[in-house]
C-alpha cells in the first residue's frame, strides 16, 4: 500500500530525483528541459546543409574495354559481378551463400588479395548484445556528416554547420551537390581532391613515398581550411590506368586519418573516399571503420551500368529469372544492399549509428605486418605479423590485366566458388569428397532411389586404408590454407610402438559433430550422423531446429536387412542404435525447444555465435521449411525462418548466466555448453562464461560451415580457431578456471593432424562439420541454401532425399580412420595417453619449410602467438574437475545450481507434489513464498514431469500458488497439467519456453496502485513459448511474446517489440504498447486495445497487416480470452471492457501475418469452423470452440475454468 506508482525504465530512458526540492522527474521531463536550453532547431535550419538521395546518372564513365581493365586493376573478379553485383543490383540484397569459408586466409593465398581481405570484422558475444538490423532497424541509421566538428563541450551555433548525408554511399549527383557547398553563398565549405595514384615506374617501394605525399597534402589542405577532403584513385582514361597504379583505398584513407589525428586536425575535416576498389559491404565497412566519412564507389556504379546493359542481364530479365529494373532502379538497389549490409555489420557489435562506427576500427588483422598497421591501421590487433606495404603494392600490381581490349575478360579468382585448376584452392572440394568416399566405401550411386535394397550391405564397400592414405596425403600436400598449416610437431621423448597407444574407442569419445540443424540437413543426413556418433561413443549435436520426440527412444525394431519401420528412410541400422543427439542446442530462435527436448539431452548447448556468421541469427530459406520441419519448429510451412541475433535472454554475461541456470534447473543431469566464435578478447569472455557455471565452452573458427548466410559474413567475420582456442585456454589457465570447463573446438577440422594440434592448444573435444557431411555422401555442390542438393544431404525435397547414399557405417569408418591417424601421431611423438597431449603447446613449432612455400608469408611469425600459452607440462590438474566437485572426470561432472534453486528443490520434494506426479490424475494444490533471489522457479518441477510424461505433461492438475516477488525466469518450461499462480510480481523471462499449462500473475489485493497502469512482469516474457495460457494483471516489458509459437497470452500493455518473431499463438494487450509491434511475425494473431488512437503508428508493417476485429470467430476468440483473463485475475480493465463489449470491441485492432490471412478469425468463415481459444490443455480438441457456440461444461473445466 506504500507504493503509489509502479513502472519500469525502458531502453534509453532515465529518471531523476532532485534531493533539494524533492521533485521526481521522469524521462520526458528531463529530456524536455535539456532540449529547451538552446534553439537547436533554428541552428540546424540555418547552418546544416542536407544531401538527400539524388537520381543516379545513366551516362557511362568508360567504354567496356576500359571499364573491364579498370575492374581488373582494382581487384575485381568475375564472381564479384556474377554473384555480388547481380544480387545487389538485381534484388537489392547481399548474396546468400552456404558451406562456410574453406579457402586459404589471404596471407597464405597464392593469389592476389585486396587489403580488405586481411581484416576480419569483430562482433559482440556475451560482453554486450548485437542489435537486430532486420526487425529493430528503427534504432539504427547510416546518416553521416562532413565538415568541421565543434567540441562536444562547447554547445554553440557553430556545431550545426555541417553537411548532412542521408547515405554514406554517394553517386555523381551527390558529389556535385557537395561540391556546390564550396560556394560562399552556399555554406563556403572549402574542399580539395587529392589523387592517390602514383607512377607504376616507382615500383613497390614507391607506395611509401606516395603515402607520405598524400598525408602531407591532406595536412596542408586542412590547415588551410579545407573541410571536405576527397581522396580519389580515379583515372581519366586508359592511358592513365596503364601508366600509374594506386594506393589501395584502405591504406590511403587509414594513413590520412591517422596522420590528421597526430596533427590534431582530424575533427576539422570530413574525408570522402572516391574509389574503384569498393564493391562489397565489407569494403565499405573497412573504409568507414578506418576513417572515411563517405564513399563514392564510382567503378561499382559503372559496373552496375555495364551489368544492366549486358545482353545476358537483359535476357534474364525477359525470361523472368531476374526482376525487371530500370538502370536507375538497379543503382538504387545496389545502394540499398550496401546500406543494409553496413547496418548488419555494425549491428553485430551492438552499434546503432554508422557515425559511431566511423573510425572505430572494429576489426582484427590476420596477416598484416607492422609497417601497414603503424601507417594505416594504428591500434588494430595483428597477432601473427604478415605482409608489408611493399608486398601490398606488389599484390596490387599483380591484379592488373595485361592490356585492354573489347574481348578481355576478368579473371575468375574462385574465391567463393571453386574453379578447377585455375582458381583459388578450396579445402573442401568435389575431388576431396571423392577421395574420402573411396576410403570409407561410399558409392554415391547407391541409394533408396536406385538399387540399395538389392546390393549387399546396402552398398557399403570395405573401407580402404590405402585410399585414406591418399586422402590424407592430398591434404598434406595441398596449398597452405590455415595457421595450423605453418606448424610442425617437436616431441620431447622417443617414439613408442603403436600397440602401447590407447585404443581408437577412447579417442573417438572426444569426437563431436557440428551443430547442423534438422532443416538445414535432411532427416536422412541428420539422423545418420546422430546414429553414427552414438555408435562410437561421441557427441552428436541437434543444431537449432529441435528433434522429433521419437528419436529419444532407442531403435529396437531393426530387421536382418538393417531396416526399421520407425525410421523407414534410413539404411544400415542395428538394434540398439540411437538417433537422439547427445547435445541439444538452444539458439536465439528457440526452434523446437520444449521441456521434453531439454530433458532428453545429455548436454544442452547455448548458441551464442555461429562460425559462419557470428553476431547474426540462423537462417532457413522458405523452400526448406517443409510440413515436417514446420511442425518441429512450430512455424508455418514455406515461410523463411530467420532467427533473431543472439540477444533477448543472452543480452549480457548476467543474462547468459541466467539461461545457464535455467537449463541446469530443468535438466540437472545435463551439462551446459556455450558456443563462442574465435575473436580477439575471447579469453576474457571465456572466463566470464566459466564463472557463469557453464560446463563446456566451444570455440568455433570463423570458417565454419552453414546452410545459408550472407556471403560477406562467411568470408569476413570470425577468426581461425587456432587463435581463439589458445587465447581461451591461456586465459582460463591464468585465472584458475581451466578445471571448471571442458574446451571443445570446431571449424574446418578434417584430419588426425588437426586434432593433435587442437589438443596441444588446449582443446579436449573436437567437432566435425562439413567433413562429417562428406562422409555421409555430400559432394560439395554448394547449393545448400537452394534446397537442390543432388544427394539429398541438405534438401527437404522428397525426390532428392531418396538419393541420399549414406549409412551410419560410412561415418563410423571415417571416424575410425581419423582416430587411427591420431594414434599413429601419438606413437611417433612417444605418448600413449591422448590426454597427455592436451595443453602441450611446447610440442609445436613453426615450420620453416611451410613458411617458405608462399612469398608473402616471409613477414609471418607465430612465435609471439605461442609464447603466451602457459606451460602445463608438469601441472596437469586442469584435466580433472575441481576438488570441490570431487576431482573426477570433467565430462562426467555437471555443475549444480546454488541457493537460487532452493525453492525449486523444495517444490519438487514436497510430498503432495511427488504424489501428484506419481498419481497423474485429480487436483492437487500447494503454496509457497518466493523472493527475487529464487530464480527459474518451477523449471525443475517441469523437468521432473517431462522426464516422466514427456511434453504431454500431467493428466491431472497440479496447482502451485506462490506469493512474493519472483526472480528471473519464473515459470520457465511450464507444461500441461501445471497451473502456476503468482500473487506479487515477477522479473524478466516469465514463462520462458512455456509448453502448456497456465501461468497467472496478479498484484496483491491491497495494492495501492492501478494494476493496469503498473508493470507486473519484466522483459522477454514467453520467449520461445510453444503453448500454454498466460495472464498478467498489469503491464509487461519489452519484447513480450518474442518468438512465441503457441502460447495464448493476455496482459494489460507492453513495451517495444511486442510479438516480435512470433510464429503462432495469440496475444491480447488490453493497454498501450510500445513501437515495432509484429516485427518479423510470420504466424499467430495479436489483438490490441487502442486507447490513445496511436496504435497504427506503432506497428512494423513490413510483414503484418492490421484490421479491426471483423469476423464472428475473431470476436469470439478475443472475448473468450478476455473473459478468462477476468476470471483468473479479477482485472478491472477486463471487467470494464466486457461490461461495455459492443462499444469496446471496436477499439481493438487485429494484427496478422500473411500466413493467417485465410484463417477464420481474420476472414469471414462459415459457422461450424472451430476457433482455438486456449493452449493450456494437453488435449488439443478441448481448446477449440465452434464458431457461434459457447463453451460446453467439459471445455469450461479443462480449457478456461
pLDDT tens column, 1040-1056: 999 999 999 999 999 99
Give residue 1166's pLDDT band: very low, low, confident or very high (50, 70, 90): low
Report helix, strand or coil for 179: helix
pLDDT at residue 1194, rounded to an integer: 40
Non-local (6+) Cβ contacts of 434 within 8 A are none
> What is the pTM assigned to this prediction?
0.94
**Model confidence at 1009: pLDDT above 50:** yes
Q: pLDDT tens-digit profile of 32-46? A: 999 999 999 999 999
pLDDT at residue 1193, rounded to an integer: 42
Report helix, strand or coil for 116: helix
Q: Residue 168 gets which letter from DSSP?
A: S
**Model confidence at 1028: pLDDT above 90:** yes
DSSP per residue, 721-764: HHHHHHHHHHHHHHTT-GGG-EEEEESS--SHHHHHHHHHTT-S
Query: Using an 8 Å Cβ cutoff, are 933 and 700 in contact?
Result: no
**Model confidence at 887: pLDDT above 90:** no
CA–CA distance from 630 to each of 82, 546, 625, 1041, 1079 (Å)? 33, 11, 6, 19, 20
Calculate the average pLDDT of the chain: 93
Q: pLDDT tens-digit profile of 467-481? A: 999 999 999 999 999
**Model confidence at 232: pLDDT above 50:** yes
Q: CA 665 from chain center: how many Å?
A: 26
Q: How many CA atoms lie within 13 A of 1164 on its CB side?
A: 0
For the chain, the farthest-separated pair of C-alpha atoms sits apart, in whole angstroms, at: 93
More confident residue, 482 or 868: 482
**Model confidence at 1192: pLDDT above 50:** no
Query: Using an 8 Å Cβ cutoff, are 1044 and 1066 in contact?
Result: no
Measured between alpha carbons, how far is 204 from 859 in angstroms, rounded to an integer? Answer: 16
Measured between alpha carbons, how far is 71 from 317 in angstroms, rounded to an integer? Answer: 24
Give residue 1169's pLDDT band: very low, low, confident or very high (50, 70, 90): low
**Model confidence at 1185: pLDDT above 70:** no
For the chain, give the percent of residues with pLDDT over 70: 97
**Model confidence at 1201: pLDDT above 80:** no
Burial of residue 350 (number of CB atoms within 10 Å: 0-12, 13-18, 19+):
middle
pLDDT at residue 118, rounded to an integer: 97
CA–CA distance from 428 to each of 362, 466, 584, 709 (Å)? 30, 20, 27, 18
pLDDT at residue 420, rounded to an integer: 79
When pLDDT is averaged across residues 171-200 and rounded to a whole number, the result is 96
| CA neighbor of 1182 nearest in space, from 1201, 1163, 1167 | 1201
Measured between alpha carbons, how far is 884 from 31 in angstroms, rounded to an integer? Answer: 52
CA–CA distance from 1033 to each of 933, 980, 989 (Å)? 22, 14, 16
Give residue 874's pLDDT band: very low, low, confident or very high (50, 70, 90): very high
Amino acid at each position: 500500500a506504500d507504493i503509489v506508482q509502479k513502472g519500469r525504465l525502458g531502453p534509453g530512458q532515465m529518471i531523476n530525483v532532485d534531493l533539494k526540492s524533492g521533485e521526481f522527474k521522469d524521462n520526458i521531463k528531463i529530456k524536455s528541459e535539456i532540449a529547451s536550453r538552446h534553439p537547436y532547431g533554428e541552428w540546424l535550419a540555418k547552418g546544416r546543409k542536407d544531401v538527400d538521395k539524388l537520381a543516379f546518372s545513366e551516362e557511362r564513365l568508360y567504354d567496356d574495354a576500359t571499364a573491364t581493365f579498370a575492374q581488373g586493376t582494382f581487384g575485381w573478379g568475375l564472381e564479384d559481378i556474377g554473384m555480388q553485383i547481380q544480387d545487389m543490383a538485381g534484388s537489392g540484397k547481399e548474396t546468400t551463400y552456404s558451406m562456410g569459408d574453406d579457402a586459404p586466409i589471404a596471407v597464405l593465398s597464392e593469389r592476389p588479395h585486396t587489403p580488405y581481405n586481411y581484416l576480419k570484422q569483430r562482433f559482440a558475444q556475451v560482453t554486450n548484445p548485437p542489435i537486430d538490423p532486420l526487425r529493430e532497424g528503427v534504432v539504427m541509421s547510416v546518416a553521416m556528416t562532413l565538415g568541421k566538428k565543434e567540441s562536444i563541450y562547447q554547445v554553440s551555433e557553430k556545431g550545426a554547420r555541417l553537411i548532412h548525408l542521408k547515405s554514406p554511399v554517394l553517386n555523381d549527383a551527390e558529389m556535385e551537390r557537395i561540391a556546390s557547398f564550396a560556394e560562399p553563398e552556399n555554406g563556403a565549405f572549402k574542399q580539395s581532391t587529392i589523387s592517390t595514384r602514383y607512377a607504376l615506374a616507382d615500383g613497390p617501394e614507391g607506395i611509401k613515398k606516395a603515402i607520405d605525399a598524400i598525408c602531407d597534402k591532406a595536412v596542408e589542405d586542412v590547415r588551410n581550411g579545407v573541410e571536405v577532403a576527397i581522396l580519389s584513385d580515379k583515372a581519366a582514361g586508359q592511358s592513365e590506368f596503364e601508366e600509374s597504379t594506386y594506393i589501395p583505398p584502405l591504406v590511403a584513407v587509414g594513413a590520412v586519418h591517422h596522420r590528421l589525428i597526430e596533427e590534431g586536425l582530424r575533427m576539422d575535416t570530413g574525408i570522402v573516399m572516391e574509389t574503384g576498389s569498393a564493391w562489397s559491404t565489407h569494403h565499405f565497412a573497412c573504409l568507414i571503420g578506418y576513417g572515411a566519412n563517405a564513399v563514392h564507389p564510382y567503378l561499382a556504379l559503372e559496373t552496375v551500368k555495364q551489368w544492366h546493359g549486358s545482353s545476358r542481364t537483359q535476357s534474364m530479365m525477359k525470361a523472368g529469372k531476374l526482376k525487371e529494373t530500370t538502370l536507375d532502379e538497379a543503382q538504387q538497389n545496389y545502394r540499398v544492399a550496401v546500406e543494409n549490409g553496413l547496418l548488419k555489420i555494425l549491428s553485430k557489435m551492438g552499434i546503432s549509428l554508422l557515425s559511431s562506427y566511423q573510425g572505430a576500427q572494429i576489426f582484427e588483422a590476420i596477416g598484416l605486418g607492422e609497417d601497414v598497421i603503424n601507417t594505416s591501421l594504428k591500434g588494430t590487433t595483428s597477432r601473427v605479423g604478415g605482409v608489408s606495404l611493399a608486398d601490398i603494392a606488389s599484390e596490387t600490381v599483380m591484379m592488373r590485366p595485361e592490356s585492354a581490349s573489347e574481348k578481355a575478360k576478368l579473371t575468375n579468382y574462385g574465391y567463393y566458388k571453386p574453379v578447377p585448376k585455375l582458381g583459388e584452392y578450396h579445402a573442401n572440394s568435389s575431388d576431396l569428397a571423392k577421395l574420402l568416399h573411396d576410403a570409407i566405401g561410399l558409392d554415391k550411386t547407391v541409394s533408396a532411389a536406385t538399387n540399395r535394397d538389392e546390393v549387399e550391405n546396402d552398398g557399403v564397400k570395405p573401407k580402404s586404408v590405402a585410399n585414406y592414405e591418399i586422402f590424407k596425403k592430398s591434404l598434406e600436400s595441398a596449398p597452405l590454407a590455415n595457421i595450423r598449416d605453418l606448424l610442425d610437431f617437436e616431441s620431447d621423448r622417443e617414439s613408442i610402438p603403436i600397440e602401447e597407444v590407447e585404443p581408437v574407442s577412447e579417442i573417438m569419445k572426444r569426437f563431436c559433430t557440428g551443430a547442423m540443424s534438422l532443416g538445414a540437413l535432411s532427416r536422412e543426413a541428420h539422423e545418420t550422423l546422430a546414429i553414427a556418433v552414438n555408435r562410437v561413443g561421441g557427441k552428436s549435436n541437434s543444431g537449432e531446429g529441435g528433434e522429433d520426440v521419437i528419436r529419444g527412444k532407442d531403435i529396437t525394431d531393426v530387421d536382418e536387412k538393417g531396416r526399421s519401420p520407425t525410421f523407414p528412410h534410413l539404411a544400415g541400422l542395428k538394434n540398439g542404435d540411437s538417433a537422439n543427439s547427445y547435445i541439444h542446442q538452444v539458439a536465439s530462435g528457440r526452434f523446437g525447444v520444449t521441456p521434453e527436448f531439454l530433458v532428453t539431452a545429455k548436454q544442452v548447448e547455448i548458441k551464442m555465435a555461429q562460425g559462419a556468421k557470428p553476431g547474426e541469427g540462423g537462417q532457413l530459406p522458405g523452400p526448406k521449411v517443409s510440413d515436417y520441419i514446420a511442425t518441429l519448429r512450430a512455424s508455418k510451412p514455406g515461410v523463411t525462418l530467420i532467427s533473431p541475433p543472439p540477444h533477448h535472454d543472452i543480452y549480457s554475461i548476467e543474462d547468459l548466466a541466467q539461461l545457464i541456470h535455467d537449463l541446469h534447473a530443468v535438466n540437472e543431469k545435463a551439462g551446459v555448453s556455450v558456443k563462442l566464435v574465435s575473436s580477439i578478447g575471447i579469453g576474457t569472455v571465456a572466463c566470464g562464461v566459466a564463472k557463469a557455471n557453464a560446463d563446456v565452452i566451444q570455440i568455433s573458427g570463423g570458417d565454419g560451415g552453414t546452410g545459408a548466410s550472407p556471403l560477406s559474413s562467411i568470408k569476413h567475420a570470425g577468426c581461425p580457431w587456432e587463435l581463439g582456442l589458445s587465447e581461451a585456454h591461456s586465459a582460463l589457465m591464468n585465472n584458475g578456471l581451466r578445471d571448471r570447463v571442458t574446451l571443445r573446438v570446431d571449424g574446418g577440422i578434417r584430419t588426425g593432424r588437426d586434432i593433435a594440434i587442437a589438443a596441444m592448444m588446449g582443446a579436449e573435444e573436437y567437432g566435425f562439420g562439413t567433413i562429417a557431411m562428406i562422409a555421409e555422401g555430400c559432394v560439395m555442390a554448394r547449393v545448400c541454401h537452394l534446397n537442390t542438393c543432388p544427394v539429398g544431404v541438405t534438401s527437404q525435397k522428397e525426390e532428392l532425399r531418396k538419393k541420399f547414399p549414406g549409412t551410419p557405417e560410412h561415418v563410423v569408418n571415417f571416424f575410425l580412420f581419423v582416430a587411427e591417424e591420431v594414434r599413429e601421431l601419438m606413437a611417433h611423438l612417444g605418448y600413449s595417453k591422448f590426454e597427455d597431449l592436451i595443453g602441450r603447446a611446447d610440442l609445436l613449432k613453426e615450420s620453416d619449410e611451410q613458411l617458405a612455400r608462399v612469398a608473402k608469408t616471409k613477414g609471418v611469425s607465430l612465435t609471439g602467438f605461442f609464447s603466451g600459452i602457459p606451460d602445463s607440462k608438469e601441472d596437469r590438474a586442469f584435466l580433472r574437475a575441481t576438488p570441490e566437485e570431487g576431482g573426477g572426470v570433467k565430462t562426467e561432472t555437471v555443475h549444480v545450481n546454488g541457493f537460487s534453486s532452493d525453492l525449486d528443490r523444495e517444490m519438487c520434494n514436497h510430498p503432495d507434489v511427488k504424489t501428484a506426479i506419481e498419481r497423474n490424475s485429480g487436483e492437487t494444490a500447494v503454496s509457497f513464498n518466493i523472493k527475487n533471489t529464487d530464480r527459474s522457479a518451477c523449471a525443475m518441477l517441469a523437468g521432473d514431469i517431462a522426464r516422466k510424461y514427456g511434453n504431454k505433461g500431467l493428466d491431472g492438475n497440479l496447482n502451485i500458488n506462490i506469493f512474493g516477488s519472483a526472480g528471473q525466469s519464473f515459470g520457465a518450461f511450464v507444461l500441461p497439467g501445471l497451473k502456476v499462480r503468482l500473487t506479487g510480481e515477477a522479473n524478466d523471462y516469465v514463462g520462458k519456453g512455456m509448453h502448456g499449462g497456465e501461468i497467472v500473475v496478479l498484484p496483491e489485493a491491497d495494492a495501492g496502485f492501478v494494476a493496469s497502469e503498473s508493470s507486473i512482469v519484466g522483459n522477454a516474457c514467453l520467449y520461445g513459448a510453444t503453448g500454454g495460457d498466460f495472464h498478467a494483471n498489469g503491464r509487461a516489458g519489452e519484447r513480450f511474446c518474442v518468438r512465441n509459437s503457441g502460447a495464448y497470452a493476455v496482459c494489460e500493455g507492453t513495451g517495444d517489440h511486442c510479438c516480435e518473431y512470433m510464429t503462432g499463438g495469440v496475444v491480447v494487450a488490453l493497454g498501450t504498447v510500445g513501437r515495432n509491434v509484429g516485427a518479423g511475425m510470420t504466424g499467430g494473431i495479436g489483438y490490441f486495445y487502442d486507447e490513445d488512437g496511436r496504435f497504427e503508428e506503432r506497428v512494423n508493417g513490413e510483414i503484418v497487416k492490421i484490421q479491426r476485429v471483423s469476423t464472428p470467430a475473431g470476436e469470439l476468440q478475443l472475448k473468450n480470452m478476455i473473459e478468462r483473463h477476468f476470471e483468473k485475475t479479477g482485472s478491472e480493465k477486463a471487467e470494464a471492457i466486457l461490461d461495455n463489449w459492443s462499444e469496446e470491441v471496436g477499439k481493438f485492432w487485429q494484427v496478422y501475418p500473411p500466413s493467417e490471412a485465410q484463417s477464420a478469425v481474420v476472414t469471414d468463415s462459415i459457422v461450424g469452423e472451430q476457433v482455438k481459444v486456449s493452449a493450456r490443455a494437453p488435449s488439443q480438441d478441448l481448446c477449440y470452440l465452434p464458431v457461434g457456440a459457447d463453451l460446453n461444461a467439459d471445455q469450461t473445466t479443462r480449457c478456461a475454468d
